[in-house]
Amino acid sequence: MPVVSRLESLPVELLHDIHLLALNHALPCSSKHLYQVFKWATPTCIAQYIVFRTNYPKEDESYTITKALRYPVCNQNVIEALFRLLSFGKVQQQTVKCKLPKRLFRNLKSESGVQQDNGDPLPFLRCLYATPGLSPDPNSHQGYALSRAVHARHGPLIQFLLDQGASPSCGYGLSVMFAIKQKDLCLVRMLIEAEEKSSGKGTGKNKERRLSNNTMLTLALRCDARDIAEYFTRERGIVPELKPLLEIGGR
């Protein structure tokens, strides 16, 4: 009898134990039956597998949680089970930082669009940020989360990330560039004002002009976003450079 057939004849509980001992990510793909068994595993079983895969407790909690969040199966129920396994938040001496996974934001749709397979990351993010002792970094991967949220025009997610301290200046101001290309003055203004608040609540020239610079103004001119260009020149006091103006005028 083939090995896979023998495995399929075993009780589900024993299969889960074998999976935990083997730590082989390819095992669920061995057959349709095994795939279904592991697909419908309890959140606790999945959390145990992730903990073993991350080599906890040799690795610290920050590494374990960051790596756990990368797994597509790591939803809200699984992460809560993971916290229970780690006794997270019960005897917590210091805040544990972790990175937000790119997978949550890769296939974002606008707030008016339909998120497939419960793809809206907001409920999961609220769960993470509400966890005592856990501090997810909203600027992970050079501000990938905010940039993708702006690109998808997902208003509630943009506001949530800004409230958690996401910086529009990360990734060379990519989120602001997306907003300029969308010709969305309100969003550009919101991002720049949010950056000013997060950079020390000061009004010094350097802080004010971190995102309000000639690069952004030139992009607005090239995109024919006239209201945004006017915002940069009149309200932000940016003087356009001559070379980009000549290039745009020569088209």
Q: What is the pLDDT of residues 106-127, one digit of tens each?
A: 999 876 655 554 679 999 999 9
In whole angstroms, give the CA distance from residue 76 to residue 59: 22
Task: Give dist(CA 85, CA 221) in Å, integer.
Answer: 54
Mean pLDDT of the chain: 86
- So what's the pLDDT on residue 57? 73
| Integer Cα distance of 235 and 101 in angstroms | 36
What are the domain boundaries of the chain? Answer: 168-198+211-250
Confidence at residue 7, expressed as pLDDT on a 0 to 100 scale = 82
Q: CA 223, CA 221: separation in Å to the nearest integer?
A: 5
Q: CA-to-CA distance for 54 and 63, rounded, in angstroms?
A: 8
Q: What is the pLDDT of residues 36-59, one digit of tens each?
A: 999 899 999 999 999 999 877 777
d(CA 165, CA 159): 10
pLDDT of 105 > 90? The answer is yes
As a whole number of Å, the end-to-end CA separation of the chain is 74
pLDDT at residue 8, rounded to an integer: 85
Most confident range (mean pLDDT) of 9-13, 14-18, 95-99, 151-155 is 151-155
